[in-house]
Chains A and B, each alone.
Chain A
Amino acid sequence: MLQDSLRRFIYGSKGFRIRIPIASCSLAAGAGEVYQAALKAVDRLGIDAEVYRVGCTGLCFMDPWVEIAKEGLPPAIYANVKPDQVATIIERYVSGDLSGAVAVRFKQGGERIPSLDELDFWRLQVRFVSRNCGLVDPESIEDYIASGGYQGLRKALSMRRDEVIETIKRSGLRGRGGAGFPTWFKWRVAYEQESDVKYVICNGDEGDPGAFMNRLLAESDPHRVLEGLIIAGYAIGATKGFIFVRAEKPLMADRLEKAVEDARKAGFLGKGILGTNFDFDVEVYRSAGAFVCGEETALIAAIEGRSRPRQRPPYPATSGLWGKPTVINNVETLAHVATIFQVGVEEFTKLGTEKSKGTKMFCVTGSVNRTGVYEVPIGTKIKTLVFDIAGGPPEGRKVKAVQVGGPSGGCIPIELADLELDYESLQSYGAIMGSGGLVVIDDGNCMVDVAKFFTGFTLAESCGKCLPCRVGMKVLSEILEKITSGQGTLEDLDLAQELGESIAKTGLCALGGTAPNPVLSTLRYYKHEYIEHVLNKRCPAKVCPKLVNYYIDPNLCRGCTQCAKVCPVGAISGSPGKVHTVNTEVCVKCGQCFSICPFGAVKKV
């Protein structure tokens, strides 16, 4: 974005703007109250400033975030703001006192507070699709247009359809929703079909636990996604587009719906778009949502009023929604399309690796200091993302592995932290890029338990249509249950391996095709942990309840009686001031004593 328009968003028309990100995640952190407090404070202080709603920056660990910018002063960013602090912060800022700010967006003089660009979590990002997130009002089409929005559409509409597809081919853009399929290829297939009705669908299901980059992007910059969808629609000659969103993400659906309405009013949708003969409209489809609905054939079935995957081929590009040629693209893929047309292919292709161009948004959660959504060039090393950007694990913890690609992904040991995040590397190490969820697992976790968690998730989400996934995942999760309760045998490990491979190869859709990944990848890298559970009946990380015993260290126990009080089954005996003991026969291993002991006297063995 031009420096000029950037300044405009930051200082606003009044030259004094207080920007507060409002999206589902920041609202959960209390941004709504902070926003109200800011309105009141401005009123009470009699300041002529705009309190401005913007989208989310992706820096979840800083929510609620407040950025104050007055001409003449550097824009200052405050993190984890509480409503009662807002007035003071504003008052001080106006007087030129920036204390309490964690960063300034850019420096004006010799401030001691670092600028965003000096902070690793910002500096190492390349905000290509997320450029507007946290800057513009997601509900304002004017803001989007001022940022260069809909210029991409204008450019695309000035080209022939096949030239649009050729442009995307030159960009090398690959799908950001799963398998990394070349976007131009699907478009070309759909374009070549002879049919007077064709559809494009934006896949905004995003059902992986712990992933929310699509929601964040669509809530923060909905027009970008919409613009990409319109371009896709033009490229293949579609008449109608759908944006598939889960009903449990109402803000995302609302903002997209508003974007559609505003775009329609502005002539970017409807009949004869921008004076061409291209007619196209978009409907936001709110679905009940299930993990499997993200799978393209199931998603189509859901819009048709059923919902289960079906065997491909035919692929949607030849026979999709209501049997018509249909292109399905992920939210982020479409946002990339719009951005590529806005800023030019070269800006995109200069980022990324030889085989995978551009950037990818990753949602980093789990054992890190800076949970958030970060956009980095494809090919960025795992360690850069986990340690430099997300700040590594909390004090006293060591990272053990990263689970990349959600429940269908795999665990990659941290020893491979030099691995580059791209489609091929991840696949060769047993994980997938997926939609970009990355869960950091530390040494407090048992890898068998991690595998059991994800297996339990996919088992619950299996649609039950085909045998290997429906029954195989059940048997797989029973085997894990057996192992984590100390009943497993070495044969069970072989069985899990064989069964996992069989499910992956014969599952009808990619849910079954990838569901065994967590088991297979942990068996590959952490077999020793499985073997400990089987042979020595021990859980090395002391997580699996059936293999853990609680014990009170007599040297540390002060006899405060708190553990005895909290124990739900009366397994702890001892009187005030005396050393307490756990009766392991009675203990149900709920761990409450462990959490409550103020002296750390309760130990797991």
Chain B
Amino acid sequence: MRVVKVYVNGVAVEVPEGATVLNAIEKAGYSVPLLCYLDGLFNEATCRVCVVLVNGRVVPACRFPASDGIKVTTESDELLRYRRTNLELLLSTHRIECWSCSRKSGCELLALSKQLGVEGIPVCAECPLAGDSCLVARGEPCLGPLTVAGCSAECTRNGAPCTGCRGFITRPEVWKSAAEFYREHGVDGKKVEVAMRFFWASVPDHLKKIALGGAP
């Protein structure tokens, strides 16, 4: 089989003709974020978070064919910006209900959001929500559903409700579905607000208006 020689971040590797840029990147020992790609099942390149530069052009690594002599760049400020923007766009339509999501902490979206520093996923996604270990499910005014993930949920896993120290998620939809979650478990909205006291001043007005929990 014919092979082609590809330079990944300056490292020369050989891959069989017909391989993708992704194959070359992996062979060279680098990696790129992937979301929609599933080896052997899906390679329509629709999420566009795996973008890399091939001879200066932005292309999706998971699908773009490797050809002889191409120069691949996997990291740059520009690429980071595109990946982050696309991830944010994905999150902007994502129904965030990490507290009841079956993926639990195995969520690639969360992992990538953390890696790229994208806000939008709550601490609940990190909290191993096994049965009654969820503090909200036990009726506590835990701020996990509203707080930006990234802390590995040290507090909650040790039984202390989240106080929102990482700052609040600013998307109203997340607040609305969190409010529902509190209500479902009979958590008093007043108590949630009290729990927020340290950071209440930094909550934008339009979010303050969303009634958190309490009797419907």
Neighbour of A505 across the interface among B65, B82, B93, CB < 8 A: B82
Task: Give A499's nearest chain B residue, CB to CB.
Answer: B85
Q: Is the CB of A313 within 8 A of B65?
A: yes
Neighbour of B44 across the interface among A310, A505, A507, CB < 8 A: A310
Min C-beta distance of A181 to chain B, whole Å? 16
Q: Is the CB of B92 within 8 A of A475?
A: yes
Neighbour of A311 across the interface among B47, B58, B63, B81, CB < 8 A: B63
State the CA gap A471–B120 with chains docked (Å).
16
Chain A, 435-463, CB within 8 A of any chain B CB: none
Chain A, 289-321, CB within 8 A of any chain B CB: 310-311, 313-314
Report the interface size for chain B: residues with CB under 8 A from the other chain: 19
Q: Is the CB of A467 within 8 A of B90?
A: yes
Q: Is the CB of B90 within 8 A of A465?
A: no
Residues of B within 8 A of A499 (CB): 85
The answer, yes or no, to whether A358 is at the interface (CB within 8 Å) is no
Q: Is the CB of A468 within 8 A of B48?
A: yes
Contact with B along A39-68 (1 / 0, CB 8 A): 000000000000000000000000000000
Q: Is the CB of B85 within 8 A of A508?
A: no
Closest 4 CB pairs of A and B: A502-B85, A471-B89, A506-B48, A505-B58
The answer, yes or no, to whether A466 is at the interface (CB within 8 Å) is yes
The answer, yes or no, to whether B25 is at the interface (CB within 8 Å) is no
Min C-beta distance of A251 to chain B, whole Å? 37
Q: Is the CB of A508 within 8 A of B46?
A: yes
Min C-beta distance of B19 to chain A, whole Å? 13
Contact with A along B74-103 (1 / 0, CB 8 A): 000000011001100110110000000000
Min C-beta distance of B118 to chain A, whole Å? 13
Asked if A466 meets B92 with Cβ closer than 8 Å, knowing A506-B51, A506-B86, the reply is no
Residues of A within 8 A of B48 (CB): 466-468, 506-508
State the CA gap A72–B211 with chains docked (Å).
88
The answer, yes or no, to whether A84 is at the interface (CB within 8 Å) is no
The answer, yes or no, to whether A472 is at the interface (CB within 8 Å) is yes
- Please, could you name 29 A-B residue pairs with CB atoms under 8 Å apart, sorted by A? A310-B44, A311-B44, A311-B45, A311-B64, A313-B65, A314-B65, A465-B44, A466-B45, A467-B47, A467-B89, A467-B90, A468-B48, A468-B86, A471-B90, A471-B92, A472-B85, A472-B86, A475-B89, A475-B92, A498-B85, A502-B81, A502-B82, A502-B85, A502-B86, A505-B51, A505-B58, A507-B48, A508-B45, A508-B48
The answer, yes or no, to whether B60 is at the interface (CB within 8 Å) is yes
Residues of A in contact with B (beta carbons under 8 Å apart): 310-311, 313-314, 465-468, 471-472, 475, 498-499, 502, 505-508
Min C-beta distance of A506 to chain B, whole Å? 4
Residues of B within 8 A of A310 (CB): 44
State the CA gap A568–B58 with chains docked (Å).
52
Given A311-B44, A471-B89, A508-B45, 11 further pairs, Cβ under 8 A = A310-B44, A465-B44, A467-B89, A468-B86, A471-B90, A471-B92, A475-B89, A498-B85, A506-B58, A508-B48, A508-B60
Residues of B within 8 A of A466 (CB): 45-48
Q: Is the CB of B86 within 8 A of A467?
A: yes
Min C-beta distance of B104 to chain A, whole Å? 24
Min C-beta distance of B108 to chain A, whole Å? 15
State the CA gap A475–B92 with chains docked (Å).
9
Chain B, 120-178, CB within 8 A of any chain A CB: none
Residues of B within 8 A of A471 (CB): 89-90, 92-93
Most buried by B among A466, A475, A506: A506
State the CA gap A467–B92 with chains docked (Å).
11
The interface residues of chain B, by DSSP majority, are classed as mixed
Contact with A along B22-63 (1 / 0, CB 8 A): 000000000000000000000011111001000000101001
State the CA gap A467–B45 with chains docked (Å).
10
Residues of A within 8 A of B81 (CB): 498, 502
State the CA gap A220–B47 with chains docked (Å).
44
State the CA gap A468–B47 with chains docked (Å).
8
Asked if A311 meets B85 with Cβ closer than 8 Å, knowing A467-B46, A508-B48, the reply is no
State the CA gap A498–B48 with chains docked (Å).
16
Min C-beta distance of A494 to chain B, whole Å? 12
State the CA gap A310–B44 with chains docked (Å).
7
Task: Give B48's nearest chain A residue, CB to CB.
Answer: A506
Min C-beta distance of B107 to chain A, whole Å? 17
Residues of B within 8 A of A508 (CB): 45-46, 48, 60
Most buried by B among A466, A502, A507: A502
Most buried by A among B45, B48, B86: B48
State the CA gap A466–B86 with chains docked (Å).
10
Task: Give A503's nearest chain B residue, CB to CB.
Answer: B85
State the CA gap A311–B86 with chains docked (Å).
17
State the CA gap A185–B85 with chains docked (Å).
36
Min C-beta distance of B121 to chain A, whole Å? 16
Asked if A472 meets B89 with Cβ closer than 8 Å, knowing A466-B46, A502-B82, A506-B51, the reply is yes
Most buried by B among A311, A313, A471, A499: A311
Task: Give B90's nearest chain A residue, CB to CB.
Answer: A467
Residues of B within 8 A of A467 (CB): 46-48, 86, 89-90
Min C-beta distance of B55 to chain A, whole Å? 13
Residues of A within 8 A of B89 (CB): 467-468, 471-472, 475
State the CA gap A468–B82 with chains docked (Å).
9
State the CA gap A308–B65 with chains docked (Å).
20
Min C-beta distance of A179 to chain B, whole Å? 14
Residues of B within 8 A of A498 (CB): 81, 85
State the CA gap A499–B88 with chains docked (Å).
10
Residues of A within 8 A of B86 (CB): 467-468, 472, 502, 506
State the CA gap A25–B82 with chains docked (Å).
44
State the CA gap A310–B63 with chains docked (Å).
10
State the CA gap A502–B49 with chains docked (Å).
11
Min C-beta distance of A408 to chain B, whole Å? 18
Min C-beta distance of B128 to chain A, whole Å? 29
Min C-beta distance of B48 to chain A, whole Å? 4
Residues of B within 8 A of A311 (CB): 44-45, 60, 63-64
Min C-beta distance of B24 to chain A, whole Å? 15
Task: Give B47's nearest chain A residue, CB to CB.
Answer: A467
State the CA gap A311–B37 with chains docked (Å).
13
Task: Give A313's nearest chain B residue, CB to CB.
Answer: B65
State the CA gap A506–B82 with chains docked (Å).
7
